[in-house]
Chains A and B, each alone.
Chain A
Amino acid sequence: MSLAPETGSPAWAGGAAAAPLGDDGAATGGVRLSGVRKSFGHLDIIHGIDLSIPEGAFTVFVGPSGCGKSTLLRMIAGLEEVSDGLIAIKGRDVTDLDPSDRGIAMVFQSYALYPHMSVRDNLAFGLKMANTPKAEIDRRVTAASAILKTDHLLDRRPGQLSGGQRQRVAIGRAIVRKPDVFLFDEPLSNLDAELRVSMRIEIARLHRELGNTMIYVTHDQTEAMTLADMIVVLREGRIEQVGSPREIYEDPANSFVAGFIGSPRMNLLKARRTGRDSLTLADATLGAPFPTASGKSGADVTFGIRPEHLTVGQTAVDGRSLTASVDFSEYLGGTQYLYCQLADGQTVTVEYRSPVAVRPGERIVLSWSMETIRLFDDAGLRLRQGM
């Protein structure tokens, strides 16, 4: 997010309708959304998104289905009209430009290759439409297929390719356009699990080699965590949090983000504040991780702790342990997930790494260290020290 002002006139990527944005718009080389809204009739899908994506960043839009992440991506692509607000790419207002004039390329979930053209023609189609000289087309097609190792497939039709190969061609079609921004709309969800992992690595490699701005939509949080420089968590057309994967995971802004990112999900337990630095949870009195200044006694809070931060033992530790009974367990080789129930019926998931098996029905004591606790108020917002 370089805020250093650009000197001289920036090299706008052409386009008659392009109007350079004033103020801070010119400062960011990447993609900038300001007050972007989308409504179908009276139904609002996207509620005013403000977002600045730095140039060269790999940004992932993540959220549950129906959160508007694909719509937002399609608005950036120009496939969906913007009801209100501005979209700028490389400081150029593209809100009303045709998709082909925005300097973007998109990879679709269904690949969307042209079935009647050979792979070579699929790759070259965009360049042909732009009246690129033939020698240049050949050069770029060859270069792109070398990057993606699809050279031997150039004369085949998409119908003769496997899913992974089709996805490579779809990505290749994006590369040859030399776009400012790559847009990926859940590109891996049609692939099988093994291929998904290898294509994920491939996309990460591609980003490192090309260094372009990439925006990637997924509902798979593994993809989000592993690929992103910056994660944008969306819910119901609003941004819940923006940050690096580590920030999102370790410092969630609210209980939705805390619960959405991380697998198995964070335990979010209902608790009640009983004093400045104590709370009750399932009949046990626990020490609060930090004294809260504004905290009212008796207020409902959400006590969040990740499964891997819970330690299984037999002896209670005063103020930071709970007893639970194991409902059932999943053995995953290296670890075991224990699904437990607290005294008041709330369920807790525990990641358990000890080789000693825990059987369903056993009673265990869960303890933790204080800094792993995340507290949220009754509206779901994070409570922090000093608030």
Chain B
Amino acid sequence: MTMTQTALSPAMTAAGHTVEVRPNPANEAAKLARARRKRKDAIAYHTAGVAIVLFFLAPFAIAFLASFRSGAEGMTPPLPPWPTTGFSLDSYRSLDTFGAGVWQHTLNSLIVSLATVVLTVAISLLAGYGFSRYRFPLKNTLFVLIIATLMIPFQSILTPLFIILAKLGLNNSLFGLVSVYVTLQLPFSVFMMRNAFDAVPKEIEEAARIDGARDLKLLVRVLLPLVLPGAATVAIFAFLNAWNEFLAALVLLSSNENYTMPVLMMAVRAGRLGAINWGAVQAGVVVMTIPCLIIFLLLQRYYMRGLMAGAVK
């Protein structure tokens, strides 16, 4: 063993020596070629990326810029989309003349959307926990039934819904609308939350039980932080769906001051006496986009994790 090592070591030092002192010209050329190729790849990659980003940003940018054109300019063909005769808030002012004023309708939409989010998250959190952790008769049947309601087209139950709400006296009320939205949102949310709870190891819950956390305390202090990505996903979906929903709001709400933003937008889009105020339409689009962007940007970190959860492992 010792003999082999002594025999080997001079050869090894010699080899190390060669590489260090005399750079191999072929090797150098290959290195350069590799660097050049890498730079070319990077340029192509980033150019493509920028192009795609522009593609996605353009509608937002056009609507945003166009909403600041002055009243007269708003009626002209939309090219170029940015204000050419100076910055003006005319479009927003005229948007405010529709319905009960833009503030009132934004507030309606916010109330409906946030209430939908809160109720959906609260109910699906509890239901998901129950479906994930408790054993009870017909558990799987019930779960499949809940999921199966996703297959029923919403339009087909609009009439019965209208009648039920009328009987309950919840016609033309924001609360009635919220309860419809929450109901529609629940199947997906319960499914999502059950998966989130399934991904939490049972031992963590058992350790918490030994530590003395029970029931609601256990859920809030230990489990909620662990299913937060799932809850964020549910919240985003609930918010966006409630914020953008049009048909139910149009059918179930009947008085002007209760309309949500999508219903107001229809009125704006329909115009007055055949004339459509395109500036007001653009302003309305901007007003409707902002809350969605804010919610998404706030929660997207959790949202991404929520969609990935359970993909690996």
A residues whose Cβ falls under 8 Å from a Cβ of B: 77-79, 98-100, 104-106, 108-116, 125-126, 129-130, 173, 177
Contacts and interface: CB of A to CB of B under 8 A. Distances in A.
Contact of A108 (B207, B217, B222): B207
26 contacts: A78-B210, A79-B206, A98-B209, A99-B206, A100-B209, A100-B211, A100-B214, A104-B210, A105-B210, A106-B206, A108-B207, A110-B201, A112-B203, A112-B206, A112-B207, A114-B204, A114-B208, A114-B222, A125-B208, A125-B221, A126-B210, A126-B211, A126-B212, A129-B211, A129-B217, A130-B212
B229 to A, nearest CB: 11
B213 interface: yes
A349 B121 CA distance: 63
A99 to B, nearest CB: 5
B209 A79 contact: yes
Interface string B56-94: 000000000000000000000000000000000000000
A112 B201 contact: yes
Contacts of A78: 210
B207 A177 contact: no
Nearest to A101: B212
Interface string B189-226: 00000000000010110111111111001000110011
Interface string B271-284: 00000000000000
Contact of A116 (B206, B211, B212, B226): B226
A106 B211 CA distance: 9
8 shortest interchain CB distances as A-B pairs:
A100-B212, A126-B211, A112-B203, A129-B212, A116-B225, A112-B207, A108-B203, A99-B210
Given A78-B210, A99-B210, A108-B207, 16 more contacts: A79-B206, A98-B209, A100-B212, A104-B210, A106-B210, A110-B201, A112-B204, A112-B206, A113-B204, A113-B207, A116-B225, A125-B221, A126-B210, A126-B212, A130-B212, A173-B211
A114 B213 CA distance: 12
B209, B214, B226: which has the most chain A beta carbons within 10 Å? Answer: B209
Contacts of B212: 100, 126, 129-130
Nearest to B207: A112
Contacts of A99: 206, 209-210
Nearest to A174: B210
- Main SS of chain A's interface residues? loop
Nearest to B210: A99
A295 B212 CA distance: 58
A125 B211 contact: yes
Contacts, number: 59
Nearest to A112: B203
Interface residues of B, number: 17
A100 B206 CA distance: 10
A173 B204 CA distance: 13
Given A114-B208, A114-B222, A115-B226, A98 B203 contact: no
A116 B217 CA distance: 15
B226 A100 contact: no
Contact of A100 (B201, B210, B225): B210
B46 to A, nearest CB: 33
Given A116-B226, A126-B212, A106 B207 contact: yes
Contacts of B208: 114, 125
Given A112-B201, A116-B226, A177 B206 contact: no
Contacts of B201: 110, 112
Contacts of A105: 210
A125 B210 CA distance: 11
B203 A110 contact: yes
Given A112-B201, A114-B222, A115-B226, A129 B207 contact: no
B185 to A, nearest CB: 26
Contacts of B222: 114
Nearest to B211: A126
B305 to A, nearest CB: 13
A177 B203 contact: no
A77 B217 CA distance: 20
Contacts of A110: 201, 203
Nearest to A170: B207
A77 B207 CA distance: 10
Contacts of A108: 203, 206-207
Contacts of B210: 77-79, 99-100, 104-106, 126
Interface in B22-72: none
Contacts of A77: 206, 210
Contacts of B206: 77, 79, 99, 106, 108, 112
Contacts of B225: 116
A78 B221 CA distance: 21
A177 B204 contact: no
A130 B217 CA distance: 12
B313 to A, nearest CB: 13
Contacts of A116: 225-226
A338 B221 CA distance: 57
A178 to B, nearest CB: 13
Contacts of A98: 209, 214
Interface string B133-176: 00000000000000000000000000000000000000000000
A128 to B, nearest CB: 9
A108, A114, A115: which has the most chain B beta carbons within 10 Å? Answer: A114
Contacts of B204: 112-115
A326 to B, nearest CB: 29
A111 B201 CA distance: 11
A109 B213 CA distance: 20
B206, B213, B226: which has the most chain A beta carbons within 10 Å? Answer: B206
Interface in B212-256: 212-214, 217, 221-222, 225-226
A109, A116, A129: which has the most chain B beta carbons within 10 Å? Answer: A129
B105 to A, nearest CB: 39
A77 B206 CA distance: 10
A129 B213 contact: yes
A249 B225 CA distance: 48
A104 B226 CA distance: 25
A125 B226 CA distance: 16
Nearest to A130: B212
Contacts of B221: 125
